[in-house]
Chains A and B, each alone.
Chain A
Amino acid sequence: MARRILWRLANLVPLLFVISLLVFFISKAGPADPVKDVLSEKMSPEQIEQIRQAYGLDQPAWKQYLHWLRDMFTNGGGISLSVRSPVSGIVFPAFLNTLILGAATTVVAVALGVLIGFVSGIRHGRLIDRAAMLLVQIGSNLPIYWFGLIVIWLTAVQWNWLPPGGMHDLRGDGGFGDLLLHLIAPAFAASLVSMLIIARFVRAAVIESAGSDYIRTYRSQGFGRAAILGKHIGRNILPPIVNTTGLTVGSVITGVVFVETIFSWPGLGSVLLNAIAGSDYPVIQSGILLVATTFVVVNLITDVLLDLLNPRLRHGGA
C-alpha cells in the first residue's frame, strides 16, 4: 500500500508534464493572441509587435514552452502576459482562496448531504424521505445565477444578516469569524449540487445496507437502532461517501467559477477564466498545474481510502 502511494505520487511528474504540454499547445492553438486583447484594441500594430517581442512571443512555440518551463523552476512561473506581473503572485493567493471556499463547500455538502441522505434512507418511502429528497433536488437545480442573487439580495440587502460577497469585511479586522460569515452563502450555494449527489448516494447505500442480511444479524441480536445505524450502516456506506466526497472536492475546485463571480470571491476560477480568455499561458499553466496536483492528490487519497475501507481490496487486489 505504501509503495502504491509513492508510485502514484511519482506518477504525478509525467502527468503534470503531459498536462503542461497539452495546456501550452492548446492555449497556443486557441483563438486568442495573448497580446491582442482589450488593450490592443487601442494600439497600433507596431506597438503590439513591440509587446510581443518584449515577451518573447515572436519566438517559435517550442522555445516559448522551454522558457516557460525554465521560468517555472526559476521564478515561479514567469510573468503573466495579460496582467504583466509575476504569475506566482497571481495564482497562489487565488488558489488558496479557492481552496478555502472548496473546503467549506465540501464540509457543507458532505455534512448536509450525508445527514439528509441518511435520514431519507432510514425513513425510506415515508413522507420525510420524499420531502427531503424533493428539497435537495430543488435546491441543487436552482440556477446559481438566479439563486445566488436572490440569496445575496435577501440575506445581505433585505435582512442584512450576511455580507453581500467577498472574503472579508474590508472595514473589519478580517478575523476568522469574519471569514466564516463570508463563507456561509457561497459555500452553501456551491455545495448544493454535490449535496444532492451525496444525499442520493447515501440514501441508496443506506437503503441497500439496511436491507442486507448482516444488518438483519445485528438486529437479531437486539442491537439498538442507533448502534446499527451509526456504526454498522454508517461503516458500510462509507465507501460511496468517500468517493463522492473526493469528487466534490474536485468539482468545487474547478466548478466554483460562477459562484466566485456572484459572490465576488477572489478565487482561482476567475483568474483562470481571464487567463484562458487572454491565452495567458503562463498563468493558465501554473493554475492548471496547481489544480491538477490537487486533483491527483485528492483522487489518490480517495482511492487509498476506498481500498482501505474495503477489506477485500486492502492487499491491492487479489
Chain B
Amino acid sequence: ADSKPRDGGTLIVGQYQEVTQFDPNRQYSWETWRIDRNIYETLVNEDLSSPTGVPKIVPGLATSWTVSPDATTYTFKLRQGVKFTDGTPFDAQAVQFNVRRFTDPTFQYYDKVSAATMGLVYADLASFKVIDDYTVEYVFKHPFLDYLRQIPNSGNAASGIFSPAALQKYGQDGLADHPVGTGPFKFQERVRGDHTTLVRNPDYWGARPRLDKVIFKPIGDDQSRVAALRSGAVDLISRVPPDSVATLEKAGFSVPENKNVPQIIYYNFNYTNQYLQDKRVRQAIIHAVDRKTLAEKIYKGYAGPATSIINQGNEAYDASAVDYQFDPEAAKKLIADAGYQPGEVKFTILSDTTGQPTAEFIQQQLKAVGIDASVESFEWITYGTRSANLKPTDGINLGEWGYIAPNWVKIAHNYSVVNRGGDKYSDTSAATNSAIEAAAHNPDPAKSKELWQAAAQAWAKDATIFPLISFNRYYAVSPRVGGFVWPQQDHYDLSQIWVAS
C-alpha cells in the first residue's frame, strides 16, 4: 500500500454479489453501483478522496449549479467537450433524453421500469427544461434540499447519464449489456456470474485513471472470497466476514476501519402479525436486545450498535439518540402489560444467512423476556423474495440500507412503515408523518439537521422500526493496492487507485 503511485495494471475486485445490470435507471444494489459509477457519471460528484467527513459535493458532468432559495429549482451548467465513449456528445439534449426516459410517459423511450426505480428521487419532479445546449433546469414540486446528495447516490436511483445513442441502438433492455457513459472507465465485457471488465477511457475529461483495467468478480461465498483475496486472485473484496478480519490483518492485508459509513442493519416489523400490532410488544422487543453486546461480542467490535434509524455517516446522525435502552425487565413488563403470558408471543425472525448470527442472538435475548421467536434464514436471493412476501406468522425481517442524505428518514419511514401499513398501529403516526414532511419540505439548510432528528425521534416513539448495528469493517485490500480510500460512503473511487507491479 505504501508503494509509489504507478500507471497501468489491472485491479481485480471480489464482490459479494452478482451485480444486477448496467443500466443506470434500472440498476440496484451497492455492488452494481460500485461498477456502474465508473461507466456513468452524474451531474455532481462527491469527493471520495478522504476517509473521514461527509464527502463534499463537487462538479461532475456539471461544472456549476445554482439552487433556488426555496430549494425547488436546480440549474446546472454542463461541462463542455465531453463525449460518451461511443463518440456522441454529452449535452443538454442527452440529459433531457435521460430524464424523459423515466419521467415522461409520452416520450418514445419512456420506460416504466426505470420510472419505477427512479421514482425514489424524481417522484416530485415538476418539470425539466433545457435552457440552452449546456444548461438544464430541474424544478421540483416541493423544496428538495437533499437533491444534490441524491444525484450521485448509490444503491438504486442514482442519476448516471447514459448515451442516448446507445439506448436507441440497443433498446431498453439492451442498454444493460451495452452500457455507454462518460466515465473514467468504459465497459469491455460482462461474463455473467464470472466477471465484468472495465478498461480505461482514454478520452476521459478528468484526471487520467491510473489503472488499465478493472475487473469485478462476484464471489458469493464469504470464505471463498477471503481465500481468493489471500491467494492473490483478487486484490480487493467487500463484505469481509468479521471472523476473518484479524487473520487478514495478521497476513498483511489492510482492513480499513470506518465508523461513519452510511450503512445500517435494522429489522422491519410485520404488521400483519397480531402480536406486533401492539406497540408494547414492539417496544419490548427493542428493550430486550442488547445491541452493544451484539456489536462487541458477536461482531467482535467490527460493528457498532445503532440506536436510531438515522444511520452513522448520515448528515443528521446523532450519536446520543437512543430509542430504547437495553432493559429486559422493562421488556417483560411491557409484554405483561400487553396482556401476554411469557411464551405466548410467538413469531418468526426472517434473515439472510449472513445475518443469521444476529437473528439467533436476538432470538436468545427475546427468549429471556418470554418471547418465543423462531429463526428462518435464507440465501440472499431467496431471502429477498421471502421477505417481500410476508406471512402473518412472520415477525421481524432484516433490512440493510442507509444514506448520507437525511431524507433517508423519509425513505425509510415510507418503506418500513407506510408501505407496510404500519401507520394504523402507531398512535403517533400523524405526528411522525408531519414531522417528516416538515423536514423533507424544509428549504433551509441550517434547520435541516434539527428537523430530521426531530422527525426520527417522533418516529421512534411507537417503535415501528428496530435499528440494530452498523458495520465498521467492510473492505479488505491486498498490499499490492495503493491509494485505496474508504470514504464515508458506500462506494469508492477507483480512478486514482494503483496496483504494484
Q: Is A51 a contact partner of B113 (Cβ separation < 8 A)? A: yes
* Cα of A165 to Cα of B191 in the assembled complex, Å: 15
* Cα of A152 to Cα of B225 in the assembled complex, Å: 11
Any chain B CB within 8 A of the CB of A240?
no
Q: Which A residues are in CB contact (< 8 Å) with B232?
A: 160
Q: Is A44 a contact partner of B227 (Cβ separation < 8 A)? A: no
Q: Which A residues are in CB contact (< 8 Å) with B233?
A: 156, 163-166, 169-170
Assuming A47-B116, A85-B173, A266-B193, is B224 touching A37 (CB within 8 A)?
Answer: no
A-B contact count (CB 8 A): 179
Q: Which A residues are in CB contact (< 8 Å) with B227?
A: 149, 152-153, 156-157, 164-165
Q: Which A residues are in CB contact (< 8 Å) with B472?
A: none
Task: Classify chain A: how many residues form its interface, as a range.
Answer: 35 or more
Assuming A164-B224, A277-B379, is B28 touching A38 (CB within 8 A)?
Answer: yes
Task: Spot the interface stretch: B131-139, B202-210, B213-221, B309-317.
Answer: B213-221
Q: Which A residues are in CB contact (< 8 Å) with B380?
A: 38
* Cα of A94 to Cα of B192 in the assembled complex, Å: 7
Any chain A CB within 8 A of the CB of B386?
yes
User: Per-residue CB proximity of B85-121 to A under 8 Å, as 1/0?
Assistant: 0000000000000000000000000011101110110
Task: Spot the interface stretch: B18-26, B425-433, B435-443.
Answer: B18-26
Measured between C-beta atoms, what is the minimum distance from B421 to chain A in Å?
Answer: 10
Assuming A51-B112, A165-B219, is B193 touching A157 (CB within 8 A)?
Answer: no
Any chain B CB within 8 A of the CB of A191?
no
Q: B224, B230, B380, B419: which has the most chain A beta carbons within 10 Å?
A: B224
Q: Which B residues are in CB contact (< 8 Å) with A126?
A: none
* Cα of A167 to Cα of B399 in the assembled complex, Å: 33
Assuming A163-B231, A170-B10, is B192 touching A90 (CB within 8 A)?
Answer: yes
Any chain B CB within 8 A of the CB of A270?
yes
Any chain B CB within 8 A of the CB of A79?
yes
Q: Is B112 a contact partner of A157 (Cβ separation < 8 A)? A: no
Any chain A CB within 8 A of the CB of B48?
no
Q: Which A residues are in CB contact (< 8 Å) with B224?
A: 149, 152, 164-165, 261-264
Q: Which B residues are in CB contact (< 8 Å) with A152?
A: 223-224, 227
- Chain A, residue nearest B197 (CB): A170
Q: Is B385 a contact partner of A32 (Cβ separation < 8 A)? A: yes
* Cα of A50 to Cα of B215 in the assembled complex, Å: 34
Which of B28, B29, B384 has a CB less than 8 Å from the CB of A278? B384
* Cα of A32 to Cα of B389 in the assembled complex, Å: 7
Q: Which B residues are in CB contact (< 8 Å) with A93?
A: 191-193
* Cα of A165 to Cα of B429 in the assembled complex, Å: 51
Q: Is A42 a contact partner of B217 (Cβ separation < 8 A)? A: no
* Cα of A280 to Cα of B12 in the assembled complex, Å: 30
- Chain B, residue nearest A49 (CB): B116
> Which residues B367-406 have CB closer than 8 A to chain A?
378-389, 399, 401
Q: Is B177 a contact partner of A89 (Cβ separation < 8 A)? A: yes
Q: Is B389 a contact partner of A85 (Cβ separation < 8 A)? A: no
Q: Is A41 a contact partner of B415 (Cβ separation < 8 A)? A: yes
Q: Which B residues are in CB contact (< 8 Å) with A47?
A: 116-117, 119
Measured between C-beta atoms, what is the minimum distance from A75 to chain B in Å?
Answer: 10
Q: Is A261 a contact partner of B220 (Cβ separation < 8 A)? A: yes
Q: Which A residues are in CB contact (< 8 Å) with B116?
A: 43, 47-48, 50-51, 54
> Which residues A19-46 have CB closer than 8 A to chain B?
31-33, 36-45
Q: Which B residues are in CB contact (< 8 Å) with A51?
A: 112-113, 116
Any chain A CB within 8 A of the CB of B228?
yes
Assuming A89-B192, A163-B231, A165-B219, is B21 touching A41 (CB within 8 A)?
Answer: no
Any chain A CB within 8 A of the CB of B156?
yes
Q: Which A residues are in CB contact (< 8 Å) with B384?
A: 37-39, 41, 277-278
* Cα of A254 to Cα of B82 in the assembled complex, Å: 49
Q: Which A residues are in CB contact (< 8 Å) with B228?
A: 156, 164-166, 264
Q: A55, A83, A164, A169: which has the most chain B beta carbons within 10 Å?
A: A164
Q: Which B residues are in CB contact (< 8 Å) with A273?
A: 379, 381
Any chain B CB within 8 A of the CB of A53?
yes
Any chain B CB within 8 A of the CB of A231?
no
Task: Classify chain B: how many residues form its interface, as a range.
Answer: 35 or more
Q: Is B173 a contact partner of A37 (Cβ separation < 8 A)? A: no
Q: A38, A93, A270: which has the most chain B beta carbons within 10 Å?
A: A38
Q: A149, A168, A264: which has the most chain B beta carbons within 10 Å?
A: A264
Measured between C-beta atoms, what is the minimum distance from B176 to chain A in Å?
Answer: 5
Q: Is A84 a contact partner of B389 (Cβ separation < 8 A)? A: no
Which of B115, B173, B194 has a CB less than 8 Å from the CB of A84? B173
Any chain B CB within 8 A of the CB of A299?
no
Any chain B CB within 8 A of the CB of A312?
no
User: Per-residue CB proximity of B451-471 to A under 8 Å, as 1/0?
Assistant: 000000000000000000000
Measured between C-beta atoms, what is the minimum distance from A58 to chain B in Å?
Answer: 12
* Cα of A40 to Cα of B381 in the assembled complex, Å: 12
Any chain B CB within 8 A of the CB of A140?
no
* Cα of A83 to Cα of B32 in the assembled complex, Å: 12
Measured between C-beta atoms, what is the minimum distance from A115 to chain B in Å?
Answer: 30
* Cα of A167 to Cα of B119 in the assembled complex, Å: 39
Q: Is A264 a contact partner of B414 (Cβ separation < 8 A)? A: no
Q: Is B223 a contact partner of A149 (Cβ separation < 8 A)? A: yes
Any chain A CB within 8 A of the CB of B346?
no
Q: Is B28 a contact partner of A262 (Cβ separation < 8 A)? A: no
- Chain B, residue nearest A170 (CB): B215
Q: Which B residues are in CB contact (< 8 Å) with A278?
A: 381, 384-385
Q: Is B231 a contact partner of A164 (Cβ separation < 8 A)? A: yes
Measured between C-beta atoms, what is the minimum distance from B167 to chain A in Å?
Answer: 14
Q: Is A38 a contact partner of B29 (Cβ separation < 8 A)? A: yes
Measured between C-beta atoms, what is the minimum distance from B305 to chain A in Å?
Answer: 23
**Residues on A close to B: CB < 8 A?**
31-33, 36-45, 47-48, 50-51, 53-55, 79, 83-86, 89-90, 93-94, 97, 149, 152-153, 156-157, 160, 163-171, 261-264, 266-267, 270-271, 273-274, 277-279
Can you give 5 A-B contacts (C-beta < 8 A)? Answer: A83-B20, A89-B192, A149-B224, A156-B230, A164-B224
